Amino acid sequence: QDLICVLIDDGGFLVLSNQEDHWYQVGKFFSEVDANLMSALYNNSFYARKESYDFQSVCAPEAQSNTGAAPRGVFVPTVADLLNLAWWTSAAAWSLFQQFLYGLTYSSWFQTEEVAGDSMEARETSCIMKQTQYYFSTVNATYNAIIDCGNCSRWVC
């Protein structure tokens, strides 16, 4: 268990490890398992990378930030506001009364079927995503070196 041995494929994904805590990470990109070592392998030209843009990608909606200014103080209504509220209240009451009368008169027109409503959840949107692909660049099959990777050094062969 003192010697960490991993097998990484030519795309930079973990294939095999002798560490039990790595077993559930098999198939993940190696930078997610050991970012320092993957960075060192890239910096020492074991892996090269190609960046491309996916113009047909689908992204989750961004969370709206509620970091606006503080709310204003207490609102004090004026006479005009009260008159406006009274007008809207009477207009709403009259509209409801008319709908009630139409409902009684034309009751067969208002027969509805059960319809499943669409959810108001935020939907995914189209976006442009930058993708990075790593590939094995060294053809030399015999390579022995000690690589400094973060808080430790690793012997790579």
CA–CA dist 72, 16 (Å, integer): 60
Helix (H, G, I), strand (E, B) or coil at 36: helix
Q: Does residue 36 have a pLDDT over 60?
A: yes
Phi, psi angle pair for 25, to nearest 5°:
-105, 5
Q: Judge whether 34 lies within some domain.
A: yes
Q: Judge whether 18 lies within some domain.
A: yes
Q: Judge whether 19 lies within some domain.
A: yes
Q: Which of 24-28, 42-46, 80-84 is predicted with the least confidence, judged by mean pLDDT?
A: 42-46
The pLDDT score that the predictor gives to residue 104 is: 78
Q: Judge whether 111 lies within some domain.
A: no
Where does the pLDDT of residue 117 fall: very low under 50, low under 70, confident under 90, or very high at 90 and above?
low
Domain interval for residue 16: 6-58+123-151
The pLDDT score that the predictor gives to residue 103 is: 79
Q: Which of 40-49, 79-88, 146-155 is predicted with the least confidence, judged by mean pLDDT?
A: 146-155
The pLDDT score that the predictor gives to residue 112 is: 63
The pLDDT score that the predictor gives to residue 137 is: 78
Best CA proximity match to 59, nearest among 130, 133, 119: 130
The pLDDT score that the predictor gives to residue 1 is: 52
Q: Judge whether 90 lies within some domain.
A: no
The pLDDT score that the predictor gives to residue 157 is: 62
How many distinct structural domains can be found in the chain? 1
Which position has the token pair 């669409």? Answer: 118
Average of per-residue pLDDT values in the chain: 78
| Residue 146 to residues 14, 123, 149, 152, Cα–Cα distance (Å) | 20, 49, 9, 10
The pLDDT score that the predictor gives to residue 76 is: 76
Higher-confidence residue of 147 and 46: namely 46
Residues 6+ apart with CB under 8 A from 63: none
Half-sphere exposure at residue 2, Cβ-oriented, CA atoms within 13 angstroms: 0
Q: Judge whether 38 lies within some domain.
A: yes
At 97, the amino acid letter reads F
